Amino acid sequence: MDLHSREFKIAFKTSIPVMMGYTVLGFAFGLLLISSGKPWYIALLMSIVIYAGALQFLAVGFFSSKLGMIDIFIASIMVNIRQSFYGLSLLKKFKKTKFKPYLIFALTDETYALLTTIKEKENIKKKWYYFYLSLLNQSYWISGTLMGSIFGNSIHFNTKGLDFSLTALFVVLAIEQYKKDKNLTPFFIGAFASIVTFFVVSRENMLLFAILFSIVLMFLFKKRLEK
């Protein structure tokens, strides 16, 4: 049976930066959920079935505040609506793969960044590369969650500052994006949209409006971006 080991090796090498971030963040999530009084297997199940980092951290607060289902639904949509824009830009990449349902499910910010930043080699089977890259990234998150939940059952640990690893990971991916395209315009657009929405809308809605504002600005500067 051909397991496409070459594609797996390339995907693993590409995913190493995500592994370093997801393992730590998954560990922090496992610790937080255990500290809220939930059993370890709930943390593991959430990382397998939900697999949405920011939303999983928010869910810890949902459990303690006892929010209603409608409130949770609206909050979940607001946090993850950006994935819709990611998915639209990857329709062409995922068009001819039998793994499409899983690739859609496993699409995260970091996986999207890798799929759009790293130059793929022409002589690899891309559908297997996409699958392994997505699967490896989720496995890092699950592994970190499992370790954190088990560790949290036996030792109390201060998790303050652990979530900064996600910010650091995004900085690295942004640098890689610039190295590939050599275009600062998208970064200026993102920074400008973020600053404006920070002062104009509430913090709860900032992410959604920043994304929408960025899209409008990218259409306005389309010709410059294409150059």
When the pLDDT of each residue in the chain is averaged and rounded to a whole number, the result is: 82
- What is the structure's pLDDT at 52? 86
- What are the CB-based long-range contacts (under 8 Å, 24+) for 176-184? 176/113, 176/117, 176/118, 177/113, 177/116, 177/117, 180/117, 180/119, 183/225, 183/227
pLDDT in tens, 66-97: 667 776 777 677 667 777 777 877 888 888 78
Q: Which amino acid is at 139?
A: S
Paired tokens of 221: 């500067």
Mean pLDDT of 127-146: 94
Write the DSSP string, 103-142. HHHT--HHHHHHHHHSPPPTTS-HHHHHHHHHHHHHHHHH
- What is the structure's pLDDT at 192? 93
- Give the residue, 173 or 43, on which the prediction is more confident: 43
**Model-level pTM?**
0.71
The residue extents of the domains of the chain are 5-159
Paired tokens of 200: 């104009």
- Give the residue, 141 or 54, on which the prediction is more confident: 141
pLDDT in tens, 169-222: 667 767 776 776 677 888 888 889 889 988 988 876 777 788 788 888 888 888
- In the predicted structure, residue 134 carries a pLDDT above the cut 80: yes
Per the CB < 8 A criterion, the answer to whether 148 and 34 are in contact is yes
- What is the structure's pLDDT at 167? 67
Q: Supply φ then ψ for residue 78, to 5 degrees.
A: -65, -40
Cα 33–Cα 35–Cα 37 angle in degrees, nearest 5 = 80
